[in-house]
A = this chain, B = another copy of it.
Amino acid sequence: SIGKIHVLYQLSKAGKLCVPAMNVNDSVTKQKFDNLYCCRESILDGLKRTTDIMFGGKQVVVCGYGEVGKGCCTALKALGAIVCITEIDPICALQACMDGFRVVKLSEVIRQMDVVITCTGNKNVVTREQLDRMKNGCIVCNMGHSNTEIDVASLRSPELTWERVRSQVDHIIWPDGKRVVLLAEGRLLNLSCSTVPTFVLSITATTQALALIELFNAPEGRYKQDVYLLPKKMDEYVASLHLPNFDAHLTELTDEQAKYMGLNKNGPFKPNYYR
């Protein structure tokens, strides 16, 4: 997960990483499937299974427009929700604009929202102050990482009543009767309240296995005590292993085309930074 990657890079920066490490989380295939494509489906699934909410016409704020946020926003918008986003990164914010989402600060919209979804990888993105300002019936959940994004601890306080209405669903009740619907106690909705399709597991497992094989087989010195991205060619290999499921037919470069592009006919086809 992204959290553990942070730790690896911090260890590396501090010179404390004692073995080579492969950041498989940021391989294109894994990233897109684990985050974008998987969350596009699991946000809907997780919300439905816990709340039976109808998406059409709902006002939703998604905190964070990275791959997970993009997946959530695409799905919710497609089903008729009115979605706005919060971002700290101007590049992601501009992408949100281009994709048709208003970019707001959470405090500007919190009173009107029917659903609040966090996917930032950060902590205390939803604070007690904001929870206090939500409207009755507002649903709050976390698609990001760990259980840090919503300040759940602040809700464990004497003036608020917790009522477990079903598995993974708590009503937090304010003294005036207002209820906020908290899912999975702020832990990951996609892990707690949805399922991960076997197809995504296959992508992840294949990527991890290939990374381990690469590290094990690599000649002395190819990898130092640092964090590496999966070699592009392996990333492409993971993808190609999964194409037959979709009856997808790849085109092969002719010799002339490969030469023109300066590419090997078997890949890799893109520079390492390509996403």
Contact = CB atoms under 8 A, between A and B. Distances in A.
Interface of A: 6, 9-10, 26, 28-29, 32-33, 37-38, 40-41, 44-45, 48-49, 52-57, 59, 74-75, 77-82, 86-106, 108, 112, 121-125, 148, 194-195, 197-200, 229, 235-237, 239-240, 242-243, 245-254, 256-257, 260-262, 267, 269-275
Contacts of A121: 261
A201 to B, nearest CB: 10
Contact of A197 (B54, B100, B256): B54
Contacts of A248: 93-94, 96-97, 102-103
B91 A28 contact: yes
A40 B195 CA distance: 20
B44 A251 contact: no
Given A32-B95, A123-B260, A256-B123, A56 B40 contact: yes
Number of copies: 4
A87 B243 CA distance: 12
A245 B57 contact: yes
A99 B78 CA distance: 8
A31 B38 CA distance: 25
Contacts of A93: 239, 243, 248, 250
A57 B100 contact: yes
Contacts of A53: 197
Contacts of A26: 271, 273
Contacts of A90: 236-237, 239-240, 243, 250, 267
A89 B52 contact: no
A98 B38 CA distance: 10
B198 A56 contact: no
A256 to B, nearest CB: 7
Given A29-B94, A82-B100, 10 more contacts: A32-B95, A38-B54, A40-B80, A74-B78, A80-B99, A88-B269, A105-B251, A123-B256, A124-B254, A273-B275
Contact of A250 (B88, B235, B254, B270): B88
Nearest to A269: B89
B37 A56 contact: yes
A33 B103 CA distance: 18
Contact of A260 (B89, B122, B247): B122
A54 B97 CA distance: 12
A81 to B, nearest CB: 6
A87 B198 contact: no
